[in-house]
Structure 1
């Protein structure tokens, strides 16, 4: 009998996606970022004060009680257990809880994934710009305002006189444009009154009113 053929060992990395594949969503800056910066600046300032006290203590023979930190500790230690001290302690506790909350607060989600083998993500501001560009290209107008987030797109456009037909056309065009997103946003189109139509209607109403005013009323006997 022949011996069974030896199977080749599994290649390293087998089972992993080959080539470009979607990566993790890029997240926004954590809420504790600026708190960390401010805390670092505060610690640097305290380090400078401590260095100053050490310098004056060893080279200027300044007593520890007369140093900046010594005066601070003496001032804090002289507080009596009154309403002011209790209020200050409560404020410090609340401040600590707020810092803990911002420390564990998740990073914000601010991107929408594009259906693609590669990892492509877009921002709501880019979606708004794309909606404005698409609407202007479809209507040929310039008076378009757009607001967008990860779940919805709100477009305001001046009515060209077609009314609901224009609204439906813009909505359909934007829905087709955003089909490439993994989670397409809900499109909302609002029609604004046309100022040129108002200007044309104004003189017409004025002329009609003048014509009625100059008409001679009939006299009945």
Structure 2
């Protein structure tokens, strides 16, 4: 029997910036198609309208150098460079990989919610808040600060969850009194 090869998927990433620019360019091309269709309609019917394309090309052909042309050219160059940058810019990574045999990713907010839910199930915890960062998971719990058993139970509850996140982020658990929050 042959061994099945597992293939890991690509890491989820945010939408590329060029996506929105492509939608805008598509809308501009639709407008250009409408203008071209209008001019074709005028050319092949007996309508007494003035065509836009021939008027625009005549206006461009009659132009001589004006003071606004240099700044307009510089602005066009800058816009072109920004469009090239948007097309080749790496997409931001939005998810954290979990240590698993299959490819599983979670958003940092989901990691934080998972840790908060686990911390709230520990007896003696009145509330919990978690912030998941690239290198650390910071859990702040409202409870009795002098109860060492509470800290141990929180570590036992949260450490397996933190070890699920690839890259082994550091788990920081902080217990605060209810009065300290006010």
TM range (shorter): 0.7 to 0.9
Distance 1:69 1:139 in 2: 75
CA contact (8 A) 2:163 2:169 kept: no
- In structure 2, how many angstroms separate the alpha carbons of the residues matched to 1:197 and 1:182? 32
* Structure 2 length-normalised TM: 0.78
Size of the aligned set, in residue pairs, is 182
Residue 166 (structure 2) pairs with residue 182 (structure 1):
yes
Equivalent in the alignment of 2:22? 36
Task: Provide the secondary structure at the position in 2 that maps to 1:183.
Answer: coil
Greater Rg by CA: 1
Q: 1:114, CA displacement in angstroms?
A: 2.0
SS of the counterpart of 2:131? strand
Pair 62,146 (structure 1): closer, same or farther in 2 beyond 3 Å: farther
Task: Measure the CA separation in 2 of the matches of 1:39 and 1:123.
Answer: 31
Name structure 2 gaps, 5 residues minimum: none
- Match status 1:55 vs 2:62: no
Per mean C-alpha deviation after superposition, the further-off stretch among 50-59 and 81-90 is 81-90
- Name the SS for the 1:144 alignment partner: strand
Cα deviation for residue 139 of structure 1 reads 4.7
The alpha carbon displacement at 1:102 in A equals 0.7
Structural RMSD (CA): 3.3
1:5-84 aligned at under 5 Å gives the runs: 18=4, 20-60=6-46, 66-77=50-61, 79-84=63-68
Once the 2 structures are TM-superposed, how far is the Cα of residue 158 of structure 1 from its aligned partner?
A: 2.5
CA contact (8 A) 1:79 1:85 kept: no
**Offset of residue 68 of structure 1:** 2.1
Corresponding position: 1:87 with 2:71: yes
TM-score, normalised via structure 1 length: 0.66
Distance 1:146 1:61, change over 3 A: same
